[in-house]
Structure 1
């Protein structure tokens, strides 16, 4: 019970690392406490401990999902909690063996990546790297990417856990004074020092891509009528607001009060109906594009037959009309499509409103906006690694994020997503423009600083001159390899650990699985017997 209570407290503490609190320092402390609660128990108890930790963390972290529906919050949080339970079971298995500070950290990252992508696209919210905004660790992002930064956080946590275990082992052995400090803390301290040196180097030698050109970018936030939570209540006014703000910008440009933009970014759900078939919507877009005389990246819902819809960013050129399109890669399950619809009837409750499934996109090339190469991300796409890595690797010079967070306008989801957005700019080493239908919109520099933003629930246009970068950061290149490496290393470590445990259980006598020699000095369950007398004492039946 003490372990479960400690795991619950650690899970709640980890939620404080993210907005609205943003206390990143608790990340290694909370994860270290979680690892310690899983150490020394069987897999089933490790799984249970992980469930308790995961539930207290995740149900708190994404409480904003209740704005969609309470069942959606319960279902999604429960699914993610299951994966954190698996992390607890993995920690229980791995902490019985040498090198566990490394293998447990790798297992955390591997299972974090798994739950972020599977099933049904997964849910990346709550990755350790997302707590790095405005901390020194954010400087590591262009060097080692999101996966690498999550691994650094996890290694810091397991090093702390190793220090606690080693200190307790020396205390039980009767080691005192300077010797206990030296024997217990030297190795964990060396690990933490290595991570500190790595971070310091990233701060002192930041990665910067060469700026090959500049562009003037405008971001439009048109606002949503009514209480601001539903873009569908008056979707025509939403489109009209975007067009009106763009036309107003064009008037400022004509009067010499603003620079002529090279690109105008509208948010997701700028049109809730297909602009190629709805004449009113089409006319509003044409009016705005003709006035501004520059490509407008329109966030539109586009029909794909009778049963499907596409969530797209469409480059609308003043001369050639609609051109390149990016289709959202990661539609939200049970929010934008119904998984397994063909096998079960989901036409009940709020799911009844999802009459058509949203197809995912596959585009890997950046959009061409009159020669400006743009990596587009739509809403939750910004939390996934794959689509950004693909577009930047294929030549994108600028990043845009189109989002419609209207239903979350009164929650902390907006701040959490904006923090992730800033981290993506740092990771890719590129300027980023984010357009939200009613907040939070902004323009972010490659160092993560916000050069322009506007309050929520307001109509506004932001403009800024941005640099265009062709270089691909190391973090974008190594990210996929770190993901695969963490998964492979975790599978191998678990197979070795479980195989060793099985052989021990089949042995003639139970031998504790601890050793005080080598790299795992004092970091596993109990001391390995060093003599026949010690073995006799350990295996003697109690009187």
Structure 2
């Protein structure tokens, strides 16, 4: 008689353990990101997630309850809740209600991820499909709702690691996949070891045979090849003559000024920092730059409409004597505004501009303003909506062609890529993180910017109102950076680089492909589950016909069908169903129920 393998039943009252484990794994993912930067925790957290959602799924099956995917989805949700409320905790500067809302919405994306990862665990090469599903989760979270929220992607935890250079081959989605794959392979090895431990008491070839050393070595090899590939990826862009560039951090006042006074104070700070830098150049203490970059919101008073603001900017730019990229808020009509980067010439004044394209919902505009302001008074704190631009950030400042993005845009693949396609030699990020003070947000954004340097094969100049400003080389290393809430100037000899990395050439194609394959694997696993249930139904039908003794053959056929399913990714077909249906039926429905129960347990 063939032996049916049965998964262990969870002990009574222990069904909550996978959910607690999943929550702990979500909390474990947070330190992988800046400013802590324990990047190696990211694959471990993914492994914990994989094991716990699978345990929740199988625990539901072993108790013969329907909808096991629901248990896995809940486990995924708890993971997301723990992760999102830690990685996004800086949002509570705006308000605790904002953090609660954002954390809850973002955590919901991990529920279908949990169900999907558990479902495909029945397929061959499950670790591969599970890693693809992480890309699918990020694909949707980065785009919906309201343009998505790209923070917290696995790739953004891998800014200076053996895997980092992979981003130049397929962008952040490929790096997220590689990070997830290391984690899912680790989970697969843990499962092999646990299965071996259960089999050691049976006659067999010993520990090595129980583990299945060939399969284990294959999984380990798959995990090791990723960092090897990462370290072999060269910088794919072409270096040009170095130029001296500077980014000004004027700082912001931390006094109780009204909004209008605050705007003038910030503008004055940046003008003074620029003029002081010009004095150091004149004294021979600093090199003369060919271009200077001011941060986002360095001029919150429309210089086109306000003569005083215009004069302050002009005097500062004339003192340094080179074109300066000024971050300014410009009025659009009476009730709207634009966030601009303005190329300001010391002789002719304002020239070419770039308008921020990816706006921050509830920060730079209020969706459904008329409806929401009726119920939430906080919406009135954003008195007017900003208008988005529609042209990629390609400008020439001081003779240097640059690709530019503003603040929030640096986290979005398409924003960076579309600007870099203009072949600017330096990526410039203008940002204003003063609102988030000493939270993790500035460090997290700086880490994302490091990754963009590697992805695009370009040096990056970061200009922030209050920090962190800096210079990042094309390999992603921070060469210079400022402290927060200080007035400073980052000056550096920067090597512009042109050309396109493979990631920039391919664009979103790898992400779409990985997302599609992941969803297809989930659909295949779901269909296989339905075929398995048809086999169980066939057993039940045979049991209700009241025929002969169940005999020895039925468990063998059942075991054969289930073995094919477990080994081939749920390969039951019509022939199997017909074969099972033609068996002599057991004399009692209880015998049939036992066989059906065993079949379900044998194929989680």
Could you tell me the TM-score, scaled by structure 2's length? 0.82
Structure showing greater Rg = 2
Once the two structures are TM-superposed, the CA of residue 539 in structure 1 deviates from its matched residue by 1.1
- Aligned-pair CA distance for 1:513: 12
- Alpha-carbon distance, 1:5 to partner: 0.7
CA 62–189 in structure 1, closer or farther in 2 if over 3 Å, else same: farther
Of the structure 1 ranges 31-40 and 347-356, higher mean CA displacement relative to structure 2 is found in 347-356
What's the counterpart of residue 257 of structure 1?
A: 285
How far residue 210 of structure 1 moved from its aligned partner, in angstroms, is 1.7
Given that residues 229 and 406 in structure 1 are in contact (C-alpha distance below 8 angstroms), is that contact kept between their aligned partners in structure 2?
A: no
Query: Which of 43, 46, 49 is the aligned partner of 1:34?
Result: 49
Question: Which deviates further from its counterpart, 486-495 or 66-75?
Answer: 486-495
Provide Cα deviations, 1:322-362, integer angstroms capped at 9, x if missing partner.
22222222221112211122554357332211121122222
Aligned position for 1:98: 124
Structure 1 459/523 Cα, relative in aligned 2: closer, same or farther at 3 Å?
farther
Secondary structure at the aligned position of 2:353 is classed as: strand
Match of 2:522 in 1: 494
1:333 alignment counterpart? 361
- SS of match in other structure, 1:463: strand
1:37 Cα offset (Å): 1.5
Q: Does 1:390 align with 2:405?
A: no
| Comparing 123-132 and 489-498, the one that deviates more | 489-498
Per-residue CA deviations over 1:481-509 (Å, capped at 9, x if unaligned) read: 11111222123222222222233334433
Mapping 1:42-441, distance limit 5 Å: 42-173=68-199, 174=202, 176-181=206-211, 183=212, 185-226=213-254, 234-345=262-373, 348-441=376-469
Partners of 2:166 and 2:136 in 1: how far apart? 19
* Structure 2 unaligned spans of 5+: 1-15, 59-67, 540-557, 571-575, 585-590, 599-604
Question: Within 5 A, what are the aligned runs for 1:436-451?
Answer: 436-451=464-479
Aligned-residue offset at 1:320: 3.1
Q: What is the match of residue 595 of structure 2?
A: 539
**Match of 2:602?**
none
Task: Give me the whole-angstrom Cα distance separating, in 2, the residues matched to 1:498 and 1:27.
Answer: 28
2: CA distance, partners of 1:395 / 1:424: 15
Q: Structure 2 vs 1, CA of residues 450 and 316 (structure 1 numbering), >3 Å: closer, same or farther? A: same
Q: What is the CA deviation profile of residues 93-119 of structure 1, one whole-angstrom value per residue up to 9, with x for unaligned ones?
A: 222333321111111111112102211
Unaligned runs of 5+ in 1: none
Tell me, what secondary structure is at the counterpart of 1:374?
A: strand
Deviates more, 1:232-241 or 1:468-477: 232-241
Pairing 1:20–2:52 present: no
Report the alpha carbon displacement of residue 127 of structure 1 after superposing the two structures with TM: 0.6
Verify the 8 A CA contact 1:229 1:409 in the aligned structure 2.
no
Q: Is the 8 A contact 1:294 1:318 kept in 2?
A: yes
Rate the CA distance shift 1:308–1:441 in 2: closer, same or farther, 3 A. same
Residues 516, 168 of structure 1: alpha-carbon distance in 2 compared, 3 angstrom cutoff: farther
Asked if 2 retains the 8 angstrom alpha-carbon contact of 1:141 and 1:427, the reply is yes
Aligned with 2:26 (options 4, 7, 11): 11
The answer to whether the Cα contact below 8 Å between 1:425 and 1:446 also exists between their aligned partners in 2 is yes
Matched residue SS, 1:95: helix
Q: 1:82 to 1:283 in 2, by over 3 A?
A: same
Picking from 505, 509, 514, the partner of 2:538 is 509
User: Does structure 1 retain, via aligned residues, the 8 Å contact 2:406–2:430?
Assistant: yes
Say whether the 8 Å CA contact 2:165–2:233 is kept in structure 1.
no
Q: Tell me the CA shift for residue 402 of structure 1.
A: 0.9
Aligned residues of 1:222 and 1:238 also touching (Cα < 8 A): yes
Asked if 1 retains the 8 angstrom alpha-carbon contact of 2:121 and 2:130, the reply is yes
Report which stretch shifted further, 314-323 or 81-90: 314-323
Shift of 1:395: 1.0
- Rate the CA distance shift 1:512–1:99 in 2: closer, same or farther, 3 A: farther
TM-score (norm 1): 0.91
CA distance in 2: counterparts of 1:171 and 1:463, whole angstroms: 60
Paired residue secondary structure (2:122): coil
CA distance, structure 2, for counterparts of residue 522 and residue 500 of structure 1: 10
Residues 7 and 234 of structure 1, relative CA distance in 2, 3 Å threshold: same
For 2:503 and 2:116, the matched residues in 1 are separated by 27
2:462–2:471: 8 Å Cα contact kept in structure 1?
yes
Give deviations 1:201-233, integer Å, cap 9, x for gaps. 432452242212322111101011125999866
> Aligned equivalents of 1:541 and 1:13: distance in 2?
37
Number of residue pairs matched?
Answer: 536
1-structure distance, mates of 2:308, 2:438: 31
Secondary structure (helix, strand or coil) at the match of 1:269 reads coil
Can you list the C-alpha shifts for 1:151-206, whole angstroms capped at 9, x where unaligned? 0011111111122223333444445312123x1x5335424423423422432452
Cα–Cα, structure 1 residues 363 and 400, in superposed 2: closer, same or farther, change >3 Å? same
Q: Is the 8 A contact 1:169 1:522 kept in 2?
A: no
Distance 1:213 1:136 in 2: 29
Please give the secondary structure, in 1, of the residue aligned with 2:428.
strand
Structure 1 stretches of 4+ moved >4 Å: 227-233, 510-518, 520-524, 535-538
Deviation of 1:256 after TM superposition, in Å, equals 2.9
